[in-house]
A and B are shown apart, each in its own frame.
Chain A
Amino acid sequence: MLNHPVCLCAFRPFFLLSLASGLISLFLWLGFLQGWWVMPASTSGIIVWHAHELLFGFIMAALAGFILTAMPEFTRTPDVGRQIFIGLGLLWLLGRITFWLSGWIGILPAAITNIGFSFSLWLFLQPRLLIDPLRRQWLFSMGLAGMAGISLGFYTDILRDIYPMRWIHAGIGMMVALIVITASKIAMRIVNEAIDALPKLANEDAPDEYRSTPPRRNLAVFCILLFTFTHFIWPEARVNGWLALAAAASVFNILNDWHVGRALLSRWPLQFYATYWLIALGYLVLGLGYLGLVVPASSGWHLLAIGGMSLSVFSVICISGRTHSGHELDARSWVNLVALLIVFSAISRALAGWINLSINTLYFLSASAWLLGFLITLYYMAPVFIKQRPDGGKGCEEPIDL
């Protein structure tokens, strides 16, 4: 089993698990919303089930896959051992099974496995994240610790019979902050490659290099986490409105780095650019809602979750998944199609309750577009994850020039 190509690198099983769990849980959710079937019994209610599975299932697996692969590269430490990531993968899988069965077997097994997974991930990576004397990866360390703490809080609330949705919202905030941190690292490469790939026009005054500005990124992370914190402790307070608007402005502020001329219109930079836009719009909608505008808060949360998180998960699966499997980046048109489907999904879900169209129709359109998008992704990416590397590589390294 350990010699199968799927165990070549940590992202392979985790990206596969992420895609599979996302597709299954959203398909079940769509069927439930359309009245096709009832959901499995769970201790915390059906909306929590939906949010939990997409956050701690789909997104968490993608994060684990990315971070277990990228951290050795960022910190120049050896690749993560196969036994370690297979063990973590099994723990994550147990987390899904026990949570889905929580209506019958109680919440304790789900609590142990899910909390165990997020703490194990953090504790395992902690020495690598802090090995750098300059502590350049400390934000990742804080993010993983935050997710572990949120998982602990979520299950503590359930065990105390308290509705745990506030922890899901905190988890979305923490994850969005992690996306902002991660995207700036990935962008340094993909945007500069896009700039280099374009011929320079004679009278063009666009910058010839993309540079991520740490103060802008840090301001955005600060604003996002501040809103997450105040929303957690005062869920109904009006101050959340101003802080959400500040978070939106801070994300728009990051885009100053991204205005690099024609290179921005290349597919990979454009995907991250769209992610930032959708995150900013999510916080804008949340902010306006808190300040008295009649907009459903769920629109804002879904812009963050689908637009910000799902789209960035898709980009990371495509970029990290292919380059660390020995492939060049995918130039086929399905990538653009899937990105459009996810953006469509985010916008159609966000419009539910705003426009004069049946909410159920919009739910159906949004979920269908999301499912179709990630089904296409699974179709094109699964062979990459379960087959040997085409360049003869034996691990996580980037394409080897022969």
Chain B
Amino acid sequence: MPLIRSTFRELPSYLWSGWGAICSLLLLMAAWQLVSEHYGSLVLAQPLETFASFKQLWNDQTLPEALIITGRRALSGLFLALALGTGLGLLAGVSLTASMMSRPLVTVLLGMPPIAWLVLAMLWFGASDGTPIFTVFVATFPMVFIGALQGARTVDNQLYEMVQALHLPKRMILTELYLPHVFSYLFPAWVAALGMSWKIVVMAELLANQDGVGASLAVARSHLDSAASMAWICAIVLLLLGIEYLFLEPIKRQVERWRVTEA
């Protein structure tokens, strides 16, 4: 409850601090405008043409429907990866043997290009939801796993000895020592996995599915509709920015407040 209260109390100043990011994005818009004017709208639609296309796609429900489908696939794969990656990573982190054993496997998983997984997934699952969900899962799992493993392995020994010496209750050791530390490794991994999941799902849909944002992007490309293509890309990016800055970042600031205080 105090966490929620302090989040809401700091919300206005947090939202106001977004002007810096908005400024950078507007500078990007200016660069986009210049490039599109130089190369022509067929190569790169102008920002306003893109927004008009975005509005049209939104008004005729194409965009929200596709976003729901893509979001469902991305989040399904992501949640699977978060659950399994976090659980297995923590377990591996607790045991040195498991940690040593799992590292090469994770290196293999991390080194495998997502497009290779996608080819396999298309063979196994065809044009169903299974292809993007599996590809997202398999591409994001190792990132989460490594984050959890490192979080569990790097708890400060001196702090651990201190809580032992003070005979703190187990619940307190968990909430005051282990969770904040592990979370500081896990959270960036989760955020990176989220970003990755959106990119992978669009790629998977583009090659394997008949619906969703990726498939719509493929249709726009086949029609040489640069404005619609950019509108779909903007939709994905905006959603990602919204999730990251309006949802994840405030949580991150709250849970990692101890780091700022220490500094």
Interface residues of A (CB under 8 A from B): 216, 219, 223, 226, 230, 237-239, 242-243, 245-246, 249-250, 252-253, 255-256, 259, 291-292
Contact = CB atoms under 8 A, between A and B. Distances in A.
Nearest to B22: A249
Contacts of B16: 252, 255-256, 259
A172 B20 CA distance: 23
A230 B34 CA distance: 11
Nearest to B34: A239
A239 B37 contact: yes
B17 interface: yes
A246 B34 contact: no
A239 B16 CA distance: 25
Given A242-B26, A242-B33, A246-B29, 4 more contacts: A238-B37, A242-B47, A253-B20, A291-B48
A252 B19 contact: yes
Nearest to A287: B26
Contacts of A243: 26-27, 30
A256 B13 contact: yes
B25 to A, nearest CB: 8
Contacts of A239: 30, 33-34, 37
Interface string B180-197: 000000000000000000
Q: Is the interface of A mostly helix, strand, loop or mixed?
A: helix
Contact of A246 (B27, B37, B46): B27
A338 B30 CA distance: 38
Nearest to B10: A205
Interface in B41-55: 46-48
Given A238-B37, A239-B33, A246-B30, A219 B17 contact: no
Interface of B: 13, 16-17, 19-20, 22-23, 26-27, 29-30, 33-34, 37, 46-48
B168 to A, nearest CB: 29
A276 to B, nearest CB: 11
A180 B23 CA distance: 16
Nearest to B30: A242
Contacts of A230: 30
A245 B26 contact: yes
27 contacts: A219-B20, A219-B23, A223-B27, A237-B37, A239-B37, A242-B26, A242-B47, A243-B30, A245-B26, A245-B29, A246-B26, A246-B30, A249-B20, A249-B23, A249-B26, A250-B19, A250-B20, A250-B23, A252-B19, A253-B17, A253-B19, A253-B23, A255-B19, A256-B13, A256-B17, A256-B19, A259-B16
B23 A246 contact: yes
Contacts of B46: 238
Contacts of A253: 17, 19-20, 23
A239 B47 CA distance: 10
A298 to B, nearest CB: 23
A211 to B, nearest CB: 15
B13 A259 contact: yes
Contacts of A256: 13, 16-17, 19-20
B22 to A, nearest CB: 4
Contact of B29 (A242, A252, A255): A242
A239, A259, A292 — which one has the most chain B CB atoms within 10 A of its CB?
A239
A24 to B, nearest CB: 39
A255 B15 CA distance: 12
Contacts of B13: 256, 259
A245 B25 CA distance: 10
Contacts of B17: 253, 256
B23 A223 contact: yes
B20 to A, nearest CB: 5
Contacts of A216: 20
A203 to B, nearest CB: 11
A238 B20 CA distance: 22
A216 B18 CA distance: 12
Contacts of B19: 249-250, 252-253, 255-256
Contacts of A255: 16, 19
A223 B27 CA distance: 8
Contacts of B34: 239
Contacts of B33: 238-239, 242
